[in-house]
Copies of this chain bind each other. A is one copy, B any other.
Amino acid sequence: MPKNIFPLDSAKSFTEQEKLGHNRWHPEIPPVATVKPGDTFRVDCREWFDGFMKNDDSAEDIRDAPLDKVHTLSGPFRVEGAKPGDLLVVDILDVGPIPQEEGPLAGQGWGYTGIFAKKNGGSFLTDEFPDAYKAVWDFTGQTATSRHVPGVSFTGIIHPGLMGTAPSAELLGKWNTREAALIATDPERVPPLALPPQPKDAILGGVPQGDYDRVAGEAARTAPPRENGGNQDIKNLSKGTRVFYPVFVDGANFSVGDLHFSQGDGEITFCGGIEMGGFIDFHVDVIPGGMEKYGVTENAIFMPGNVEPRYSQWLSFSGTSVTLDGEQRYLDSHLAYQRACLHAIDYLSTFGWSKEQAYLLLGAAPIEGRFSGVVDIPNACATVYLPTEIFDIDIRPGAGDVPKIDPGIGAPRASLA
């Protein structure tokens, strides 16, 4: 059974642990441990904000989220013999919340979903939901329920939001260049277009003191997914999944974090999914020369596991690339998915949930978001699928009265001045 090579003590902060992780990408962050191809091992993960978020009925923590501090990553783990050009094979043997603990740290029997405020990160529907909101979810086995979103319960599709290999210096340079160019097109935008390197709050593992400032000034933020995998937030990377990552540095230097108890496609509330700390068990292997062999050079590929929660009945909503103001955009699938999600939110609100509750639900529950049509000029067509089994009431349209739920205390809200 897997040995824990990166244990975390729930009573201590991320930087006070036996082994120090990181919250930036940089090739010079040294490995915290070395494993061999064929090894299995366990890694603990801290929730991405290192315990800043509380199990309470206020959204002030979400409003004030310290974005410079994320993501608290476990690693890097060096895989003996892995070389640039190889593919790193990562099997997720198991993943779950912090075992057998109750407490104030997300992952100790509970997790949270937040809608980030427009002035502090924003979200997929930030123009419609500019304030901060929070939902706390309780875990009973693999089932999630929330006092902030009553009337639903679902089986979590537990997964890591973020896994990846270390970039080479060259690749890191490419990231910084292209992202800086984007930021430069509108540097004052709120929310920002991208996040440049930020030395403040950087955690860089075992980078020597003398190199710290330089590395902190170069190291890439962990928010976006990139060629190394990274913060892909693919809900289907759950138990049983095999992922193949390009290797850019000797030893691959693999890291992991941002565990989610569940998530809908898109993680649309940004502070989305159901955030938690926990553990993850890996088996790793290497395909020598795999990048060229399979033409996989700038992206992860993967095979989802076969124990994903199984639902069979879905209610689906479509959207097209016309803005809420009625402006026609050209084949914009991103906009189309926003509109599909808004349609779902409007629909759910007819049953008594507030729109914020519905939005939080779509961020957290195992909804499916699909590119249905991407060529029918000028409208992309996106669709979002809600499993009907997760609702306590029958949400299917019909001839009778619309059943109503009691929205309870609602989703806590906090606005920025």
Contact B313 A389 (CB under 8 A): yes
Which residue from B223, B240, B244, B307 sits with its C-beta under 8 Å from A377? B223
The reply on A195 being an interface residue by CB < 8 A is yes
| Interface-facing stretch out of A13-21, A204-212, A328-336 | A328-336
Q: Among residues 29 to 63 in chain A, which have CB atoms less than 8 Å away from a CB atom of chain B?
A: 40, 42
A1 close to B (CB within 8 Å): yes
- Residue contact B141 to A378, C-beta cutoff 8 Å: no
Q: Does A343 contact B389, Cβ atoms closer than 8 Å?
A: no
- Among B178, B233, B239, B399, point to the contact of A372 (Cβ < 8 A): B233
C-alpha spacing A309/B307, complex, angstroms: 5
Return A304 CB to nearest CB of chain B, in Å.
Answer: 6
B181 touching A328, Cβ below 8 Å: yes
C-beta contact mask, A259-297 vs B, less than 8 Å → 1, else 0?
000000111111010000000010100010010011110
Interface check A371, CB cutoff 8 A: yes
Which of A73-81, A101-109, A129-137, A248-256 lies at the interface with chain B? A101-109
By the criterion CB–CB under 8 Å, are A314 and B318 in contact?
A: no
Q: Tell whether, in the assembled complex, residue B308 and residue A307 are in contact, meaning their CB atoms are under 8 Å apart.
A: yes
User: Within the complex, what minimum Cβ distance (angstroms) separates A389 from chain B?
Assistant: 6
Assuming the A-B contacts A374-B124, A378-B179, are A224 and B1 also in contact, with contact meaning beta carbons closer than 8 angstroms in the complex?
no
Contacts of A244 in B (CB 8 A): 397
For A114-150 the 0/1 string (1 means CB < 8 A from B) is 0000000011100000000000000111110000000
Binary contact track A368-410/B, C-beta < 8 Å → 1, others 0: 1111111111111111010011000000111100100000000
For A100, list chain B residues within 8 Å (CB).
1-4, 42
Tell me the minimal C-beta distance from A149 to chain B in angstroms.
Answer: 18
Are A272 and B334 also in contact (CB < 8 A) when A178-B327, A299-B318, A316-B302 are?
no
When all copies of this chain in the complex are counted, the total is: 4
Which residues of B sit under 8 angstroms from A314, Cβ to Cβ?
Answer: 303-304
Which of B87, B97, B192, B339 is the one whose CB lies under 8 Å from A1?
B97
- Are A235 and B266 neighbours in the complex by a CB distance under 8 Å? no
Query: Whose C-beta in chain B lies nearest to the C-beta of A306?
Result: B310
Choose one: B91, B346, B370, B381; the contact of A295 (CB below 8 Å). Answer: B346
A416 within 8 A of B: no
Which chain B residue has the least Cβ–Cβ distance from A311?
Answer: B312
Task: Decide if B343 touches A333 in the complex (CB within 8 Å).
Answer: no
> Is A23 at the interface (CB under 8 A from chain B)?
no
Q: Which 3 A-B pairs have the closest CB atoms?
A: A93-B141, A312-B312, A224-B379
A-B CB contact pairs (8 Å), 20 listed? A87-B397, A93-B141, A140-B283, A142-B239, A194-B328, A224-B320, A225-B376, A233-B375, A234-B383, A293-B402, A296-B397, A301-B343, A303-B313, A303-B316, A304-B314, A306-B312, A310-B310, A310-B312, A312-B389, A332-B334
